[in-house]
Amino acid sequence: MKKTFFTLFLSISVFSGFAFQWPVSDPVLVTSFGESRFGDFSKGIELQSGSEDVYPIDQGEVVFYRSGETGGEIPSPLGNFAVIQHERGIYSIYAHLDKVYVPDYKFTEKNRLGTIGSTGLSTGKSLFLILLDGEFEQYINPLLSLPPMLDLKKPRIGPVYFIAENKQGNQKNEAKGDLTLKSGVYSIQVEIKDFNDNAGNYSPTAPFSISLYLNGENRKNIKFESLKLETGNMVLQNSGESTYDTLYSSPWVYKIGNFDLSPGDTRIELAVKDFEGNETSRILKITVVE
Amino acid sequence: MSMYKISFLLILAYVVLIGRPVEQEYSLEPGWISDLSTEEYVTAPASGEVPFTFSDHFGYFSPDNAVMLHDKVLYGIALDEKGFINYSSINAALVLQSPDGMVYGRLDDAGYPFFIGSRRFLLNSDGTALSEMNPDGEILWTNRFSSMITDVSASLTSLVVGTLNSGIRMLDTSGKETFSYKPEFSRTNTVYGTALSSDDSSILVISGLDPQKVLLFTKKNSGYRIVFSMDLEHEYRFQRQCGFSVDGNFAYFDYGSYLFLLNTVRREVKEFPVGGTLQRVVIAGLNDLVYTSAETGDVIRFSGFDLDGDQIFRYTSRGRDSFLDKDASGLYAGAGDYLFKLKKVKR
């Protein structure tokens, strides 16, 4: 556990120290890291742009690519793509490209790599950017190493649900104001959507972090920083071993965790931040009875 | 020993060690031809159909020139003798259909399907997880990988998965890992191609950069060991086409406008000039020819070579994608809008 934490810390630190460039001009974030995408964690970010051209985020070397010319024996849900290897075993992957330009394998930030497209399993014309730390074999949130994106909009906290499992099945209680519940173990689930200034209100994304406080005590933190394969499952690191199935109830509803609520007054605070630090919180007062 | 006996032994040694009946006594002549752009084909349930796909065509035909089903590929196609999934780039569900076009199953998981032999797989939306499904489309198992899957090869009993950063992993029919190998001879672990012999006795891997190597593994006890290694002078950075002959005596891989054929017993490599970018290969093994199709510009070149690399026949057709298959009576090929048979005729 300590080793895993140290590895994650080291890896995040390395990435935070980098200053990569945006692969497209005037990027608009339409899918964030860790968001629910096709029934799984999004291992990268999806960007739209008014321009067509895609450039590497840093200098490096194309080690693998696929285009209409190269073909391939297995299908490619990522469509046409290119993989650039950078220093220290870091890979950047540019997917759903229309054209892939690989006249030479060595690339600087100024060499055009391709054009934005919608090839493969893509919902629209966009670039899907994935950052893989090959040394630690984990996916890193690319926003950690890209320039800041202007965004003043706060995440929105939607309905909060308290779901109790009993003999009759799951009993779902929505906290619309003060709520009275019987004591017991509840799965707290909350709908959260973040909106980016550039993307407007039509394309929500996942937040960057979610924290839950129970009677003032920090009981759960979820951070969309990195994903790593552990015992056959992709796990959101530093977030209480969250897998896709344990975190997502539906694409925008997050299962924060299971909490034992004892009789008495209970104060629950949810604090949600987006990547630019915009924060929203909500306090719920629960009366728990026998 | 008399000269008679010596001659007899020499002839016997030649027949046993070197000699083999090659098909040079045969030539290929045009058989039937179907124009898929104009002819309409009715769906006719039948057995013994041969699946085909090339360009944006797919369907089934019988060797006596009855195209059972022909349709256009939406975005991608996975098909085998028992059915197909014709899918769009983005789907609410993947629909399984039998060779007569009847819908018999559906799969709600996101991803793209592909079939190898009689086995059916699904690659997830970002290419990092592989699932196997049964003929009805039910997921049997899912295996996740720490980096992108770059190639997959399968036999009836095993599966080899190549990855961007984690080498190869061999899985059994339940998705459990039985062998793995991470190439560490070069500055990248990327696997560009994998092939698995039908009896699981050999694995071919193309991997690495500076050098890029072709590695042949053979089964030994419970694992595999490298028995052949070759540095490639020209490196390619996309998925490479490779495979084994049906009898396992040969492994092949594409190399620019050449097919390289590795004799897995003698560990010798021969080059076959296929005349373009290799598309399809049909190799039964010993006592047969090597059939290839290759594309250059909008011309498809179909070729047949003997195992020494000598070209026995060549046939060109217009098109950018091709189909190639064979049975005892001849060769079936497709290019452009035409599906045709080249009959094997004794000279």
Which residue ranges make up each domain of chain A? 2-145, 156-289
Residue of A nearest to B77 (CA): A75
Residue A219 in contact with residue A211, Cβ under 8 Å? no
Query: Can you give the pLDDT of all 347 residues of chain B as single tens digits?
Result: 455 455 444 443 433 333 333 445 567 777 888 888 876 665 555 556 899 999 999 999 888 777 888 899 999 999 999 999 999 999 888 999 998 889 999 998 889 999 999 999 999 999 999 999 998 889 999 999 999 999 999 999 999 999 999 999 999 999 999 999 998 888 889 999 999 999 999 999 999 999 999 999 999 988 899 999 999 999 999 999 999 999 999 999 999 899 999 999 999 999 999 999 999 999 988 888 899 999 998 999 999 999 998 988 888 889 999 999 988 878 899 999 999 988 877 76
Torsion of CA B106, B44, B47, B53, to 10 degrees: -60
- pLDDT tens for residues B171-216? 999 999 999 999 888 888 999 999 999 999 999 999 999 999 999 9
Name the CATH superfamily for A156-289: Immunoglobulins (2.60.40.10)
Amino acid making up residue A192: I
Query: End-to-end distance of chain B based on CA atoms, in angstroms?
Result: 40
- Quickly list H helices, chain B: 3-13
pLDDT of residue A37: 93
Q: What are the b/e assignments for A154-171, b being 16+ CB within 10 Å?
A: bbbbeebbbbbeeeeeee
Q: Which residues of A touch B279 (CB under 8 A)?
A: 71
Query: B55-64: which pairs have CB atoms within 8 A and are 24 or more residues apart?
Result: B55/B319, B55/B320, B55/B321, B55/B334, B55/B335, B55/B336, B55/B337, B57/B334, B57/B337, B57/B339, B58/B84, B58/B86, B60/B99, B61/B34, B61/B332, B61/B339, B63/B327, B63/B329, B63/B332, B63/B341, B64/B32
Distance CA B140, CA A17 (A): 43
Record the tokens describing residue A38, joined without a space: 């096709």
- pLDDT tens for residues A212-258? 999 999 999 999 999 999 999 999 999 988 999 999 999 999 999 99
Residue of B nearest to A134 (CA): B165
DSSP 3-state of A130: strand
Distance CA B74, CA B87 (A): 6
DSSP 3-state of B9: helix
pLDDT of residue B250: 96
Contact state of A73 with B127 under an 8 Å Cβ cutoff: no
Nearest by CB to residue B166, choosing from A121, A130, A137, is A137
Q: Which residues of B touch A226 (CB under 8 A)?
A: none
> Between residues 190 and 229 of chain A, which touch chain B (CB distance below 8 Å)?
228-229
What mean pLDDT, rounded, does chain B reach? 88
Topology of the domain comprising A2-145 = Glucose Permease (Domain IIA) (2.70.70)
Contact state of A121 with B111 under an 8 Å Cβ cutoff: yes
Residue A233, min C-alpha distance to chain B (Å): 7
* Complex prediction ipTM: 0.89
Cα B199 to chain centroid distance, Å, stands at 15
Residue A3: which residues within 8 A CB-CB, separation 6 or more?
none
Q: Is A118 on the interface with B (CB under 8 A)?
A: yes
Residue B340: which residues within 8 A CB-CB, separation 6 or more?
B30, B31, B32, B33, B34, B332, B333, B334
Nearest by CB to residue B89, choosing from A102, A121, A134, is A121
In angstroms and rounded to an integer, the radius of gyration of the C-alpha atoms of chain A is 21
A vs B: CB pairs below 8 A: 117
Residue B262: which residues within 8 A CB-CB, separation 6 or more?
B204, B214, B216, B228, B250, B251, B252, B253, B268, B269
In the block, residue with structure tokens 């330009």: A101
Residue of A nearest to B187 (CA): A89
DSSP 3-state of B240: coil
Distance CA B86, CA B82 (A): 14
Average pLDDT over residues A170-184: 82
Contact state of A122 with B123 under an 8 Å Cβ cutoff: no
Give the residue from B125, B174, B244 with the most A CB atoms within 10 Å of its CB, the best one to mutate: B125
pLDDT of residue B12: 38
Q: A93 pairs with which residues across the strands?
A: A83, A130
Torsion of CA A65, A68, A69, A74, to 10 degrees: 60
- pLDDT tens for residues A201-215? 678 999 999 999 999
Record the tokens describing residue B187, joined without a space: 């500055």
Average pLDDT over residues A190-194: 95
How many CB atoms neighbour CB A185 within 10 A? 11
